[in-house]
Amino acid sequence: MLATLTDILHTARVVSIPLRQRFRGIETREVVLFEGPQGWTEFSPFVEYGDEEAAAWLSAALDFGWNAAPPLLRDSVRVNATLPAVVPSLVADVLDRFAGCRTVKVKVAEIGQTLEDDVARVAAAREYLGAEGRIRIDANGGWNVDEAEHAIHALAEYDLEYVEQPCATVDELWQIRQRVKYMGVPVAADESVRKAADPLLVARQEAADILVIKAQPLGGIHDALAIAGEAGLPLVVSSALETSVGISMGLHLAAALPELPYDCGLATVNLLSLDVATDPLVPVDGAIGVRRVVPDAGVLEDHAASPEREAWWLARLERCYRLLAG
């Protein structure tokens, strides 16, 4: 049964958190936190998303707050460091915050930057990690097929674990996957899973080697597990730049997957300038323990969004709720 809107709004708090570095064009992360019978949960679709897309994120928040978690098969999850599209001189400072992570995901193909910028950033990450560490890159669909081939060829010398969403469409992913097979660089799909009408199309079309799954956009832990079960491909659980409350949802999803061959993109609390929990979900020795968190009352108070932003978020939440209650 769906939680009532009154139940949700009763505990809902809107917080606004500055990022340490610009990430996917944003400098402040706004989220709604509320408490269900299972504990605190997070609703944080990106502000530009329409209500229909955001409604899946509300489904996820309700699932995590109101439904029992699935059986957990591990009590900690290995995670990767996430490196925003910063200049090479900042790479070591950013990576120092991800203690013990043996894998780094490097953001590439940032608007306004060049392939030379990407090469310099990936080179700096490789120098930081040494020969043993793993490097994956994420282009967020920013290249066409030719650009992707050229870029992957230029970056392959740094030894790439995989390339995430090099191009925007499933058809382009299929093409680039054929073109780079000889280099031994696998292709992972992210936006083609979480923003697609059919999240399994990319797998059926054999357009990716790996699927990235995110709990909030896929409608929650249980829906994401159902998709995972049908995918037939290796999976990586990743975050949507959430507070520790949303990261906890991702950790519970990762902990419930039968196989977890890759480090997960759940160490992103470090990209925020502060967290809502006094005991944040950040990596220790490259892994994060699976647990729920309770936001600190003082932080909720001190970092409350402005009255205008709060009204905007609660109205959005209510519209999404009506879509789900349909």
Ligand X SMILES: O=C(O)CCC(=O)c1ccccc1C(=O)O
Contacts to ligand X from residues 122-151, by CB under 6 A: 138, 140
Catalytic residue list? 107, 214
The yes or no reply on residue 161 touching Mg ion (CB under 5 A) is: no
Q: Which of 44, 59, 244, 268 binds ligand X (CB under 6 A)?
A: 268
The yes or no reply on residue 242 touching Mg ion (CB under 5 A) is: no
CA nearest neighbour of 287 among 100, 125, 133, 149: 100
Compare residues 268 and 321 and give the one whose CB is closer to ligand X.
268
Q: How far is the CB of 240 from ligand X (least distance, A)?
A: 5
The yes or no reply on residue 103 touching ligand X (CB under 6 A) is: no
Q: Which of 30, 138, 161, 310 binds Mg ion (CB under 5 A)?
A: 138
The alpha carbon dihedral of 252, 222, 32, 237 has a sign of: positive
The yes or no reply on residue 265 touching ligand X (CB under 6 A) is: yes
The three-state secondary structure class of 209 is coil
Total chain residues near ligand X (CB under 6 A) = 13
Q: Which of 59, 80, 192, 244 binds ligand X (CB under 6 A)?
A: 80
Q: Which of 42, 190, 275, 310 binds ligand X (CB under 6 A)?
A: 190
Positions of E strands within 69-131: 76-78, 81-83, 103-107
Q: Say if residues 237 and 215 touch (Cβ distance below 8 Å).
A: yes
Give the N- to C-terminal CA distance of the chain in Å, as an integer: 13
**Chain residue whose CB lies nearest ligand X:** 265
Q: Which residues are CB-contacts of 229 (< 8 A; sequence separation ≥ 6)? A: none
The yes or no reply on residue 10 touching ligand X (CB under 6 A) is: no
Compare residues 48 and 308 and give the one whose CB is closer to Mg ion.
48
The yes or no reply on residue 110 touching ligand X (CB under 6 A) is: no
The yes or no reply on residue 24 touching ligand X (CB under 6 A) is: yes
The yes or no reply on residue 110 touching Mg ion (CB under 5 A) is: no
User: What does the DSSP 8-state code read for residue 283?
Assistant: -
1, with CB counted inside 10 A (0-12, 13-18, 19+), is exposed
Site string for ligand X, 194-233 (x = CB under 6 A): ----------------------------------------
Q: What are the distances in angstroms from CA 200 to CA 32, 74, 193, 224, 303?
A: 29, 26, 7, 11, 38
The yes or no reply on residue 29 touching ligand X (CB under 6 A) is: no
Amino acid at residue number 269: V
Q: Say which entry of Mg ion, ligand X, none residue 239 contacts (CB below 5 to 8 A, set by partner kind).
A: ligand X
Q: Say which entry of Mg ion, ligand X, none residue 240 contacts (CB below 5 to 8 A, set by partner kind).
A: ligand X
138 annotated as ligand-binding? yes
Site string for ligand X, 277-306 (x = CB under 6 A): ------------------------------
The yes or no reply on residue 190 touching Mg ion (CB under 5 A) is: yes
306 C-beta neighbours (distance < 10 Å), count: 11
The β-bridge partners of 135 are 104, 160
Q: Say if residues 60 and 219 touch (Cβ distance below 8 Å).
A: yes
164 annotated as ligand-binding? yes
302 annotated as ligand-binding? no
Q: Which residues are CB-contacts of 237 (< 8 A; sequence separation ≥ 6)? A: 77, 212, 213, 214, 215, 250, 253, 254, 257, 260, 264, 265, 266
Residues contributing to the annotated binding site: 138, 164, 190
Residues contributing to the annotated binding site for Mg(2+): 138, 164, 190
**Residues at the site binding ligand X, with contacts judged by CB under 6 A:** 24, 80, 82, 105, 138, 140, 190, 238-241, 265, 268
